[in-house]
Each structure stands twice: as structure tokens, then as C-alpha cells.
A and B are shown apart, each in its own frame.
Chain A
Amino acid sequence: MTTYQNNDHLAGDFYTQNFAKTAGEGNLILNLGPQHPSTHGVLRVVVELDGEYIMRAEPILGYLHRMHEKMAEVKTAAQFIPNMGRVDYGHALGWNWAFVGAAEKLGGIEVPERAEYIRVITCELNRIASHLLWWGAYLLDLGAFTPIMYAFDDREKVLDILQIPTGSRLTYSYYRIGGVAQDLNADCIRRIQEFIPWFRSRLPMYKDLVSDNIILRKRIEGIGAIEQDTCRRYGATGPVARGSGINYDVRRAQPYSVYPKLDFVVPTSDLKDARGRYDVRMIEMEQSLRIIEQALDMMPEGEVLVKGAPKPSWKVPAGETYFAVEGARGKIGAYVVSDGGKNIYRTKLRAPGFCNLSLFAEVSQGTILADAVAILGSLDLIIPEIDR
């Protein structure tokens, strides 16, 4: 080694130095990410490998941490809404909803019925967009390049629809405390009505070409089984819990908005593996179409923002509340504590992906590295949501 060489990096950084190795001799420590394509953003996983087998894995978070909870302390409630679209770009409207829902609960604000239906329609469209993003990217992780082209073709249509009322394509900030920013116009409704049969015709094709494909089945069946007990110990929700046979969906378990009036099925799978989670999401997209269809029929005329809706300087009345919605990744929770001051006293954002990822270390133990990528992808991770 010459003096020109700096070998400091060989000692590893803080996290590798603090990584507790198992007893195995000659095991390899490998950093997966934070820039690896299969880690979807900037997740880093330190893994200890014995050959190809994972002895211990530890996700390292924080590369995309922006301290949204601090930002909530220095903004008024209305000013904080745009942050929600940045927490989870995959299902931004779900996060919009969780936060405005909590503020409405504390303020005792009734949302006009038309606005509730608009929320349901846009939130479910966003769920479809989120699941399509997961589907395309997951198959890309597993080595199938073509599906993401189809997924993004469909997703593009959803984004075009959502662009009309929200004005943006990814980080939506559309819900307001007391309603939504603007009504769905005739063009938007026509596009949604066209999209439903179109997307319905695409789903069987995806089943034939991808879901039943033997190569995919070999990659995801029997991989990454998550027991129901594990879901409880780690707080896994959403398709991860439902893929393990837990019939838990916030839209049914803690009903909000007009979901009780809508007829839809909460899909579950007893397979418990990556396949189970895959199936649940595929069926959820069909169910979202059903919800949108019904909501379009049932949507009454009327206001979309309650009269006398809070102004940007509105102070949230003192009190505490926890409002949860079913996001694409699970239970999104907004815990809001207010002392009646200008800014909200404390806002805690419960990210479903955070809990879903925390069980990865346990589930990936003993699997081979390639399967760990299949497990990681099956959890549907959006890193900005996990890091907040």
C-alpha cells in the first residue's frame, strides 16, 4: 500500500462497524444498496452471507429522511398538506386523506358528500397507479423487463386522469380540510369511465402472460413466508398482512368516509408467501375498479368544499386524534396532538412501509440472496414513506 492510497473505507462506516455478525467464520458482509436498483430508491441492507445464504440482514434507513414531523411543527395544518404527497409518492392521496381526516376530526368538520365520493374515486385511482408501479418494478427486479412497459402504459392513463383535478402527476396535494380543492369536470369523469373497461380488459392479459407464468411462479411461490404472529409482532398491515390470511383492511375495520356504502371484497390469501402478497394486490386493483364504478354512480351533486372551510391560518382545536386510512401499502395513520396553537403541537405519521420492512430481517434469514430480493420487492417499499 502506497501513501497515495486511502484504505479508510475498508474499515466500513458506522453501520457496518455496528453490525453484529453471527458466529460463522469466513462469512461475507455485503452492502446491498443504497443505490442498488432492487432497493427502490435509497434503502440499504447490510447482509452477512455464508455462500449465497443470508445469515443476518439489517436494513439501514435514513438516506431519504426529511423530518416531516418537524416540518409539521412549524407550519399550520393547511400548510402541511403538500408535505403529505412527498411522504409517499406512490399513494400520495392516501396520505393527503390521513392528515386532512385527522384535522377534520379534531375540528369537527363535516365533509360534503360529493367530496367524500371524489376522495374515494381519486384515492382508489391512486391505489391502482401505486399497485401498477409496484407490479412493474417488482417484475423488473425479478428479471422480467416487458411488464413495466405495460404497467406504465396503464398508469399513464391514471396519471392523466388525476392530473385534471389535482394539477399534478405524482406528489398530489388535492384534499383540503373540509373537502377537495376542485370538482371532477366532465372530461375527467369521461376519462375515468373509459379507463374502467380498458383496465378491466388488461387484467386477464396480465394474468395469462405474467401471473401464471412458470418462471415468475418459481421465483415467488413458497418464498418469504410471513406468519400471522409475525405480522402482529411487527405491525405489518395492508397486502402484507392480507397475503398472510389476515382479513384486515382499514376501510372495513375502522370504516371512514362512504366506504361502508360501497360493495367490495377485501382479498386475502392463505399462501403467506410472496405469491400471496402478489395475488392480493392484483385482486385489489379489480376491487378498486368496482369501488370507482359504484362511486361514480352514487356520487351526488353538490359542494366539494364545506362552506366556511378552514383558511390557511386556521388553528386546529386542542385535543388528540388518530385517523387511519387504508393506503396501498397498509394502514396509514396520522396521530395529531394539538394545543390549539397556530401550528400543530405534535404530528406522528405512521407509515405502513416502515412496519412492513421491519420484518424483513427475520423473514430473509436463511434464504438465498436472490430470494431476498424477491421478498424485499413483495413488501412493496416506497423509501420516502419509510424514512419520512
Chain B
Amino acid sequence: MEALFTGLGALYLAKCDAAKSGQAFQAFLPAGALVRAAERLLKANYFIEDICAVDCVEGYVVVYHFDHFETPGRLTLRVLVPHDAPSLPSIAGIFQGAEWHERETRDFHGVLFTGNPNFIPLLIDPEMADCFPLRKGEKARSKAKDMLEAGEVIFVSPAFTLMTPDAPAEVKESGGDQPATA
């Protein structure tokens, strides 16, 4: 699994509890590595299950689900995009089925996918296609690390703090210190 991600600049790679969360591995990638990762997955005979976005405090976590026809073990790729400019490269050139999933993600969350060959609304009426029904208000958002499975970390980039299990404790400590000093 590590070999699949070497040289991609992955931010986070973790082994997950498949019995609990249904995924064997998950990886956070920088947006720029997405297309290369998809190429490798296709070469390794993975198939695309779906693409969706989760609106969190930190931004939209765009989730790519992959599975394998022969070897069990679902793989989840995630990319964090900011709320103000949600844009990602399209992987529809590699997994053609991604075209519709990306268009659906645009309809629901307004995440843009550059390079999608036919980027028009898919499910929502074109006349009201900019309503993005699954975007949440500021107050309704929750933190990604409170919801997404952290898993057993195999690799984590020092700059990446979204999922790091140690990070919440540190934040809590500093959060606890602040009122004391104030």
C-alpha cells in the first residue's frame, strides 16, 4: 500500500478498521497529486465506487472511494479544498465514470473539477443549479477529525494537522491554556 503512494507527496496515509468503517486504507492527498494517484490505482486494477464531498469546518473534504474486484480492501482518497475556492483537477480522463460523480459533487456542494469533459449540471435543473443544497451554514459545520476515522497512521506529513491523532490533544491543551492566561 505504501508503494502505491510513494513519490505522490501524500499528506496522510492510514490503515483503517474495515470491520468498523468499511475501508481498509485511507489517504489524504494534495490536489496536485490526485490525477497521478488515479493513474496508479487504475494500473493496480482498482475500480471507482463513487465520489462525494463532506462539508466540514476546515473546508470540503472530497472523498473518492475505490474498491478492487479481486483483492478485498477498499481504499479511500481524500482531498481537502477550501470553502472559498473549491476546485480540483478532474480524474474523468482516467476513470471515465468519475465524470458523473464530479458533476454530481458540483451540483450538491459547488466543488469545481477542472478538466471534466462535460461539466454541466447532472441531477439538478440547470436553471437552479447554483443552489448547492448540501452546503452547510457556518454553525452547522463540524470538524473533520471528530467524524472521519483516523485509523492507524502509516505516514503523516508534518504540515498536515487535519487528522493527526495527537493534534487534537495539543489543540485542547492550548485551548485550555488560553482562557487561563486571558
Q: Which of A18, A335, A348, A387 contacts B120 (CB 8 A)?
A: A18
Residues of B within 8 A of A233 (CB): 42, 47-48, 94-97
Interface string of B55-80 (1 = CB under 8 A from A): 10000000101010100101000000
Q: How far does the alpha carbon of A148 sit from the alpha carbon of B20 in the complex, in Å?
A: 42
Interface-forming stretch among A61-69, A79-87, A211-219?
A: A61-69
Is B97 touching A234 in the complex (CB atoms < 8 A)?
A: yes
Asked if A355 meets B148 with Cβ closer than 8 Å, knowing A65-B124, A321-B20, A323-B22, the reply is no
Interface-forming stretch among A23-31, A134-142, A157-165, A338-346?
A: A338-346
In this complex, the interface size class of chain B, counting residues with CB under 8 Å from chain A, is 35 or more
Residues of B within 8 A of A70 (CB): 133-134
Q: How far does the alpha carbon of A62 sit from the alpha carbon of B46 in the complex, in Å?
A: 28
Q: Which of A69, A105, A235 contacts B97 (CB 8 A)?
A: A235
Q: How far does the alpha carbon of A354 sit from the alpha carbon of B104 in the complex, in Å?
A: 11
Q: Which of B42, B49, B147 contacts A320 (CB 8 A)?
A: B147
* B158 touches A (CB below 8 Å): no
Q: How far does the alpha carbon of A236 sit from the alpha carbon of B125 in the complex, in Å?
A: 26
Residues of B within 8 A of A333 (CB): 49-50, 65
Q: Which of B52, B67, B99 contacts A335 (CB 8 A)?
A: B52
Interface string of B12-30 (1 = CB under 8 A from A): 0000000011110000000
Q: Which of B120, B126, B146 contacts A318 (CB 8 A)?
A: B146
Task: Classify the interface of chain A: helix, strand, loop or mixed.
Answer: mixed
Residues of A within 8 A of B50 (CB): 235, 333, 335, 348, 350, 355
Chain A residue, CB-CB nearest to B21:
A321
Q: How far does the alpha carbon of A345 sit from the alpha carbon of B50 in the complex, in Å?
A: 18
Q: How far does the alpha carbon of A330 sit from the alpha carbon of B103 in the complex, in Å?
A: 22
* A293 touches B (CB below 8 Å): no
* A254 touches B (CB below 8 Å): yes
Residues of B within 8 A of A355 (CB): 48-50, 97
* A300 touches B (CB below 8 Å): no
Q: Which of B46, B55, B99 contacts A358 (CB 8 A)?
A: B99
Is B124 touching A319 in the complex (CB atoms < 8 A)?
A: no
Is A335 touching B146 in the complex (CB atoms < 8 A)?
A: no
Is B147 touching A345 in the complex (CB atoms < 8 A)?
A: yes
Q: How far does the alpha carbon of A314 sit from the alpha carbon of B94 in the complex, in Å?
A: 42
Residues of B within 8 A of A236 (CB): 47, 97
**What are 9 A-B residue pairs whose CB atoms fall within 8 Å in the complex?**
A61-B100, A69-B134, A234-B97, A236-B47, A253-B72, A318-B146, A345-B147, A350-B65, A358-B100
CB within 8 Å of A: which residues of B? 20-23, 42, 45-50, 52, 54-55, 63, 65, 67, 69, 72, 74, 94-97, 99-100, 108, 118, 120-126, 133-134, 142, 146-149
